[in-house]
Structure 1
Amino acid sequence: MIRRNFLELLGGAGLYTTLKPLMPEYLEKVSLPGTDEDYWAQIQQAYTTSPQIINLNNGGVSPSPQIVQDAVERYNKYVNEAPSYYMWRILDQGREPLRENLAKYAGCSPEEIAFNRNATEALDTVILGLPLKAGDEVVLNPYDYPNMLHAWRQREMRDGIKLKFVKFPIGTEDETKIVQAYQEQMGPQTRVVHITHVINWNGQILPTKKIADAAHKIGAEVLIDGAHSFAHLDYKIPDLGGDYFGTSLHKWLSAPIGTGMLWIKKEKISKIYPLVPNDSPKSDNIRKFENLGTRPFPLEQAIGIALRFQEAIGNVRKENRLRFLKNYWAEDAAKMPKIKINTPFNNSCALAHVSVEGKTGGEIESYLFNKFKIHTSPIQWEDLNGVRVTPHVYTTLKDLDRLKEALYQLSKA
């Protein structure tokens, strides 16, 4: 009863009703491989997904479960009763408890986490705030996210730093080859190595810790783009070996759209200038990166509800389910004529890139949507030309059966 009252106090009765089937006493018989369809049917019911389309483009942004949507609405109504009072004097007091809870989940100190709007803002804070000078070198991957490449190129243009790009066959399962590709671009002038943990184009998981260790051996710092890995894969941020980390919480955590997080090692905070200036730019207080002016407090506070939903499922169970969903459709699709999966099966989880011989990514995307109402993301980048398929925990096997049928029909066309 105490537990129920506590949940109701934090998120209303709806939170308890939604999380009840996910609590430990109800999970004892649920297998970790992620194939218990009765359990996942309850998760699916927690989302308010469109009955008109099959959304398999959860990589860019994910929907929030109903309880998170309700929390945003509840907080917004509360704030609007007297904004300057309820927003700054009441709701803002929830930021520090939220910081502590998110830090515990991420495996780090709350003094290393700042809230912002997305991974781009988090990573730009580091990219544009690092003290780099002309001739300093930064190692990148051409498959890093475009916004991050733009930021580094701006520093190249403005400050005269040098960008060096690694080369390895996208989709390779050979981690040694990937690490060597990064090492080949490292040298005495290398100051930063930028690593995308999960490549957004095809879902490939890079051996981040091995690359980071190699970078640290030559005295370079490591910036990790965790936009597609946080709350998707089971890990703690320090395990990755980086010095800086940024992510979007509106992706795999299913937090409100427009929420993100920056992590910086405590001893590195003072050297990074904030993206939005304040009166103590050289402070070692992580909160100097939160000087955004008036901000959407209801969205920020609803992160806590999304975090409870995530923790109720569990990282291992969620990762296993997402990998199972990817394999469910991709293994069959790989056997179809003209179909190619451009994602390593072992080093990936939910995201995968599929191409069809003789078709562009745009043509595949249009066919899937116009004929089958399946929403995917057309990806034409470097050597990739196809669509990215990204299921989430609410995706049903029936949805993926329809995808397989659509790909089969396209392969025969």
Structure 2
Amino acid sequence: MKASRRTLLKGAAALAAPSFAGTAFAAPSRSPAGADDETYWREVAKAYDVKKDIINLENGYWGVMARPVAERYVENLKRINHDNSYYARRSYGDDYKTVIAQLAAALGAEDEEIALTRGATEALKGLIAGYNKLEPGDAVMYADLDYPEMIAMMDWRAAKSECEVVKVSIPEPSTHDGLIAFYKKALTDNPSVKLLLLTHISNRTGLAIPLKEIVAMARAKGVDCIVDAAHSWGQMDFSANDIGADFVGYNLHKWIGAPIGVGMIYIRKGRLDDISPDPGAPAYDMERVAGRIHTGTMDFAAALTLPAALKFHHDVGPALKAARFSYLRDLWAESSRELPGVEILTPSDPRLHAGITSFRLARKTTPEDNIAVSKRLLDEFNIFTVHRVGVAAGACVRVTPALYNTPDDVIALAKALKVMSA
């Protein structure tokens, strides 16, 4: 009989329990009042050992591990290094199945629908390269806010399948209904499109698209969607069915807080044959999701640390995390929206953003302009950010708070922008 989601998550907690003793994090016993309950969030922040001499608002590259997760990773690394291939050949297979079961339970998926990768990039490359339903004369579509490597993969897929490429630019500013209408018109105007790349949360601007509605609309038109969810699961609270997509690439080392080098590929049950196996995958994987990518030797210790990352994620609370990220984002972004000369690139609508949001100073649209803006924030205000390029309307500066950031951190950014806008 298949284990329930609750049973599997309890199993994850038990597996990870040793790293939550002593000086490690223990979730406060009381329920927090909400995203602005600083007593609770100060306790959460204590679980992170981070650089204190700057205000780091560039946490989108990867998510720093909380202390109990990092401790568990070190324990696992020592174990793997000690036991070597004796462990890998005799025990890892069963442990991998346990990790997959816990991940599936957390995502609301079936075990057979997912496999581990080394990141969302590897997962998405496998999905795009393996998609086998295109015919000559069909078209693929992607947007300016999609990830550059995935855009390159879509171009490659189109060339290999003798297809056309349709490139669209997400409008600024965007609205929830406007985005749905935008994709509806794009698909109606381009009836040859059969494969659509969608990015749940853009790494460039932080825009969160109404994914479920767009996926359903595309499906009704006979268009398959490959979804880049590198930045969404863990930053937003949702299950696999909440977004409704059949093909998804996830990161686990960003907002879930696992060690660097762990991601996940998702293929909905019944759709496996529409993604061809990786040519290098072993024969025993050809009928499994794991055969749609071929990672070679993974970081065993990182994979074994996933239960600890999931435990911390659930101890803090997925919905609370999402609320906290949005709260920190709103403190600086909404207070800066009316500043003359400051363009906030994600809307106020909470459905269209999570924690990531980018800004642009008026007439500062080149990469060089935004490198200079980011440098000034660091040199003059001690705030670390990163510039982003590829947006049709021009380059920008991305701001990404983490759970260890405080309201004072993001208010400092708002104050800096007030000075810079003047």
TM-score normalised per structure 2:
0.90
Matched, 1:294 2:297: yes
1:98 is displaced (CA, Å) by: 1.0
Q: 2:371 is matched with which residue: 357, 362, 370?
A: 362
Q: Deviations over 1:139-193 (max 9, x none)?
A: 21121110100001112233321121234413312x3322222223325433212
Q: 2:356 is matched with which residue: 351, 360, 364?
A: 351
CA distance in 2, matches of 1:86, 1:231: 30
Aligned partner of 2:5 in structure 1 is none
Contact persistence 1:273–1:282 (CA under 8 A): no
Instruction: State the one-letter code of the partner of 2:315.
Output: A
Instruction: State the one-letter code of the partner of 2:168.
Output: V
Equivalence map 1:119-158=2 (5 Å): 119-131=120-132, 132-158=134-160
Contact persistence 1:134–1:159 (CA under 8 A): yes
DSSP-derived class of the 1:393 partner: coil
CA distance in 2, matches of 1:90, 1:356: 54
CA distance in 1, matches of 2:108, 2:22: 26
Aligned partner of 1:246 in structure 2 is 249
Distance 1:90 1:279, change over 3 A: closer
Aligned partner of 2:173 in structure 1 is 171
Distance 1:364 1:275, change over 3 A: farther
Aligned partner of 1:47 in structure 2 is 48
Equivalence map 1:256-295=2 (5 Å): 256-275=259-278, 277-280=280-283, 283-289=286-292, 291-295=294-298
Contact persistence 1:115–1:290 (CA under 8 A): no
Q: Deviations over 1:66-125 (max 9, x none)?
A: 111111111111111131112332344311111111111111101101100111111111
CA distance in 2, matches of 1:252, 1:5: 21
Contact persistence 2:118–2:263 (CA under 8 A): yes
The percentage of counterpart residues that share the same residue type is 29
Aligned partner of 2:68 in structure 1 is 67
CA distance in 1, matches of 2:115, 2:19: 30
DSSP-derived class of the 2:166 partner: strand
DSSP-derived class of the 1:267 partner: coil
Distance 1:155 1:15, change over 3 A: farther
Aligned partner of 2:6 in structure 1 is none
DSSP-derived class of the 1:115 partner: strand
Q: 1:190 is matched with which residue: 174, 186, 193?
A: 193
1:198 is displaced (CA, Å) by: 1.0
Aligned partner of 2:380 in structure 1 is 371
Aligned partner of 1:325 in structure 2 is 328
Equivalence map 1:193-204=2 (5 Å): 193-204=196-207
Contact persistence 1:79–1:86 (CA under 8 A): yes
CA distance in 2, matches of 1:59, 1:52: 19
1:53 is displaced (CA, Å) by: 1.9
Matched, 1:14 2:24: no
Distance 1:207 1:5, change over 3 A: closer
Distance 1:16 1:157, change over 3 A: farther
Aligned partner of 1:86 in structure 2 is 87
Decide which moves more: 117-126 or 216-225.
Answer: 216-225
Q: 2:408 is matched with which residue: 390, 398, 410?
A: 398
CA distance in 1, matches of 2:311, 2:22: 11
DSSP-derived class of the 1:194 partner: strand
Distance 1:270 1:341, change over 3 A: same
Contact persistence 2:25–2:44 (CA under 8 A): no
CA distance in 1, matches of 2:182, 2:131: 24
DSSP-derived class of the 2:195 partner: strand
Contact persistence 2:118–2:298 (CA under 8 A): no
DSSP-derived class of the 1:223 partner: strand
Equivalence map 1:209-248=2 (5 Å): 209-248=212-251
Contact persistence 2:16–2:72 (CA under 8 A): no
CA distance in 2, matches of 1:176, 1:143: 18
DSSP-derived class of the 1:350 partner: coil
TM-score normalised per structure 1:
0.91
Instruction: State the one-letter code of the partner of 1:95.
Output: Y
CA distance in 1, matches of 2:93, 2:20: 23
1:312 is displaced (CA, Å) by: 0.9
Decide which moves more: 243-252 or 158-167.
Answer: 158-167
Q: Count how many residue pairs are aligned between Structure 1 and Structure 2.
A: 404
1:389 is displaced (CA, Å) by: 0.5
Decide which moves more: 233-242 or 286-295.
Answer: 286-295
Question: What are structure 1's unaligned runs of at least 5 residues?
Answer: none
1:239 is displaced (CA, Å) by: 1.7
Decide which moves more: 283-292 or 238-247.
Answer: 283-292
Instruction: State the one-letter code of the partner of 1:322.
Output: F
Contact persistence 1:18–1:46 (CA under 8 A): yes
Q: Quote the RMSD (CA, aligned, Å).
A: 2.3
Instruction: State the one-letter code of the partner of 1:387.
Output: V
CA distance in 2, matches of 1:5, 1:153: 43
Q: Deviations over 1:276-319 (max 9, x none)?
A: 52244994422324642222100111121111111111121111
Contact persistence 1:270–1:285 (CA under 8 A): no
Question: What are structure 2's unaligned runs of at least 5 residues?
Answer: 1-9
CA distance in 2, matches of 1:44, 1:60: 19
1:7 is displaced (CA, Å) by: 5.6
